[in-house]
A and B are shown apart, each in its own frame.
Chain A
Amino acid sequence: MIEVRDAVKNFTIRSSGVRTRVTAVDGISFTVGAGEFVGYLGPNGAGKSTTIKMLTGILTASSGSVRVAGLDPSRQRTTLARRIGVVFGQRTTLWWDLPLRDSLTLIRHLYKVESRVHRARLDELTELLGLGPFLGTPVRQLSLGQRMRGDLTAALLHAPPLLVLDEPTIGLDVVSKATVRDFLQRLNAEQGTTILLTTHDLGDIERLCDRVMIIDHGRLAYDGDLDTLRTTVDAERVLIVDLERASPPIRIDGVETVRVEGPRQWLTIPRGLNAAAVVAAVARRHEVRDIALREPDIEDVVTRLYLR
Chain B
Amino acid sequence: MVRTYGLLAWTWMRAAAQHPVSMSLITVGVIVSTGLDLAAIAIIFARTRELAGFSVAEVMFLYGTAGTSFAVADILIGTVEGLGDHIKHGSLDAILVRPVSPLIQLATEEFSPRRIGKLVPPVTVLALVLPRLHLAWTLGRIVMVPVMLLSGAVIFGALWVLTASLQFLITDSREAMNAVTYGGGTLTPYPLTVFGKDFVRGLTFMIPLAFVNWEPALYILGHPDPLGLPAAVRFASPAVAAVLCLLAARAWRSGLRHYRSTGS
Q: Measuring CB to CB, which residues of chain A are less than 8 angstroms from any residue of chain B? A: 9-15, 21-22, 24, 44-45, 48-50, 53, 56-60, 62, 74, 77-79, 81-82, 84, 86, 88, 90-93, 95, 97-99, 102, 105-107, 109-112
Instruction: Indicate if the CB atoms of A56 and B90 lie closer than 8 Å.
Output: no
Q: Nearest-CB distance from B234 to chain A (Å)?
A: 41
Q: Which of B89, B94, B96 contacts A57 (CB 8 A)?
A: B96
Instruction: Indicate if the CB atoms of A13 and B94 lie closer than 8 Å.
Output: no
With an 8 A cutoff between CB atoms, is B177 at the interface?
yes
Instruction: Indicate if the CB atoms of A91 and B176 lie closer than 8 Å.
Output: no
Chain B, range 220-260, C-beta contacts under 8 Å to A: 257, 260
The docked-state distance in angstroms from the alpha carbon of A14 to that of B173 is: 6
Instruction: Indicate if the CB atoms of A88 and B8 lie closer than 8 Å.
Output: no
Instruction: Indicate if the CB atoms of B179 and A49 lie closer than 8 Å.
Output: yes
Instruction: Indicate if the CB atoms of B179 and A60 lie closer than 8 Å.
Output: no
The docked-state distance in angstroms from the alpha carbon of A90 to that of B187 is: 14
Instruction: Indicate if the CB atoms of A58 and B184 lie closer than 8 Å.
Output: no
In addition to A50-B180, A78-B101, A102-B11, 14 A-B residue pairs with Cβ atoms within 8 Å of each other are A10-B263, A11-B264, A12-B264, A21-B263, A44-B181, A49-B182, A90-B90, A90-B182, A93-B98, A98-B15, A102-B14, A102-B15, A102-B18, A109-B4
Instruction: Indicate if the CB atoms of B98 and A81 lie closer than 8 Å.
Output: yes
Total A-B Cβ pairs within 8 A:
114
Q: Nearest-CB distance from B182 to chain A (Å)?
A: 5
Interface majority SS on B: helix, strand, loop or mixed? helix
Known A77-B96, A110-B100: A11·B257 in contact at CB below 8 Å: no
Instruction: Indicate if the CB atoms of B7 and A109 lie closer than 8 Å.
Output: yes
The docked-state distance in angstroms from the alpha carbon of A97 to that of B109 is: 11
Instruction: Indicate if the CB atoms of B182 and A48 lie closer than 8 Å.
Output: yes
Residues of A within 8 A of B15 (CB): 95, 97-99, 102
With an 8 A cutoff between CB atoms, is B93 at the interface?
yes
Q: Nearest-CB distance from A53 to chain B (Å)?
A: 7
Q: Nearest-CB distance from A244 to chain B (Å)?
A: 51
Residues of B within 8 A of A91 (CB): 89-91, 93-94, 184
The docked-state distance in angstroms from the alpha carbon of A45 to that of B7 is: 39
The docked-state distance in angstroms from the alpha carbon of A60 to that of B261 is: 5
With an 8 A cutoff between CB atoms, is B262 at the interface?
yes
The docked-state distance in angstroms from the alpha carbon of A9 to that of B262 is: 10
Q: Measuring CB to CB, which residues of chain B are less than 8 angstroms from any residue of chain A? A: 4, 7-8, 11-12, 14-15, 18, 89-91, 93-94, 96-101, 105, 110, 172-173, 176-177, 179-182, 184, 257, 260-264
Known A12-B263, A109-B4: A93·B179 in contact at CB below 8 Å: no
Q: Can you name 24 A-B residue pairings with CB atoms under 8 Å?
A: A13-B173, A22-B176, A24-B180, A45-B182, A58-B93, A58-B96, A59-B262, A60-B257, A74-B260, A81-B98, A88-B94, A90-B184, A91-B90, A91-B94, A91-B184, A99-B15, A102-B14, A102-B15, A105-B11, A109-B4, A109-B7, A110-B4, A110-B8, A111-B98
The 7 closest A-B pairs by CB, nearest first: A12-B263, A81-B99, A11-B176, A93-B94, A62-B264, A11-B263, A109-B7
Residues of A within 8 A of B179 (CB): 11, 24, 49-50, 53, 59
Considering only CB atoms, which chain A residue lies closest to B256 in the complex?
Answer: A77
The docked-state distance in angstroms from the alpha carbon of A50 to that of B260 is: 11
Instruction: Indicate if the CB atoms of A22 and B180 lie closer than 8 Å.
Output: yes
Instruction: Indicate if the CB atoms of A88 and B93 lie closer than 8 Å.
Output: yes
The docked-state distance in angstroms from the alpha carbon of A88 to that of B260 is: 17
Q: Nearest-CB distance from B98 to chain A (Å)?
A: 5
The docked-state distance in angstroms from the alpha carbon of A45 to that of B93 is: 18
Instruction: Indicate if the CB atoms of A15 and B173 lie closer than 8 Å.
Output: yes
Considering only CB atoms, which chain A residue lies closest to B6 in the complex?
Answer: A109
The docked-state distance in angstroms from the alpha carbon of A15 to that of B18 is: 46
Residues of B within 8 A of A79 (CB): 99
Residues of B within 8 A of A10 (CB): 263-264
